[in-house]
């Protein structure tokens, strides 16, 4: 529904092997909502049902998986305190992603089934939370497109023997190159 166009685009880009996508079950999502006392937006539930337990190279280095979610709620608040940020997270904020402990993204649970995405980045000079995408599905599309650029860049060095160190990234580059070969054969 909300992520249909994102999934279609990911298939077209051929940068993330489907075998790398590890979905959550509906039961796990319900358990998470009960444990955290929240009702997650539909667009985000779709993400969890798509790759909530693993997204291959798309999620490497970022705490954004099912098992990370309870902890990053606390880590984000701790980061704001440590940085002496002038604002607290809104009561209805749900942190869905934290990268390397210095930046995080969240949405507000009161802002619909495809809510805007806000960010905080340490040492950025920001004095308020910044809305970076008008809706979660647009954020996912942008991140999928950016991931594709990274994989394409890495593929350029592949023939010279420059291989990514992370196995999931290697698999993504191989998958991408297979997709290019398939396209050339069909032209």
Which domain covers residue 67, as residue numbers? 4-186
Number of domains in the chain: 1
Q: Say how far apart CA 41 and CA 95 lie, in whole Å.
A: 12
Q: What is the pTM of this model?
A: 0.87
Q: pLDDT tens across 6-19, in order?
A: 999 999 988 888 88
Q: pLDDT tens across 174-185, in order?
A: 766 777 666 666
- Please report, for the domain that includes residue 42, its CATH number: 3.40.1580.10
Helix (H, G, I), strand (E, B) or coil at 97: strand
Q: Which of 34-38, 88-92, 140-144, 180-184 has the lowest mean pLDDT?
A: 180-184
Q: pLDDT tens across 36-87, in order?
A: 999 999 999 999 999 999 998 888 888 999 999 999 999 999 999 999 999 9
Which of 96, 104, 97, 98 has its CA nearest to residue 41? Answer: 96
Q: Say how far apart CA 86 and CA 163 lie, in whole Å.
A: 43
């Amino acid at each position: 529904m909300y992520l249909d166009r994102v999934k279609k685009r990911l298939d077209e880009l051929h940068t993330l092997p489907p075998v790398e996508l590890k979905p959550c079950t509906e039961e796990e999502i319900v358990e998470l909502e009960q444990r955290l006392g929240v009702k997650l937006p539909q667009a985000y539930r779709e993400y969890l049902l798509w790759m909530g337990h693993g997204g291959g190279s798309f999620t490497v280095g970022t705490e954004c998986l099912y098992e990370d979610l309870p902890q990053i709620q606390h880590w984000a608040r701790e980061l704001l305190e440590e940085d002496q940020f002038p604002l607290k997270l809104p009561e209805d904020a749900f942190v869905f992603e934290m990268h390397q402990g210095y930046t995080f993204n969240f949405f507000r649970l009161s802002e619909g089934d495809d809510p805007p995405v806000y960010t905080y980045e340490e040492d950025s000079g920001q004095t308020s939370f910044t809305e970076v995408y008008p809706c979660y599905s647009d954020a996912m599309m942008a991140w999928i497109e950016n991931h594709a650029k990274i994989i394409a860049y890495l593929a350029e060095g592949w023939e010279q023997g420059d291989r990514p160190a992370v196995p999931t990234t290697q698999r993504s580059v191989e998958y991408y190159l297979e997709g290019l070969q398939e396209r050339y054969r069909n032209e």
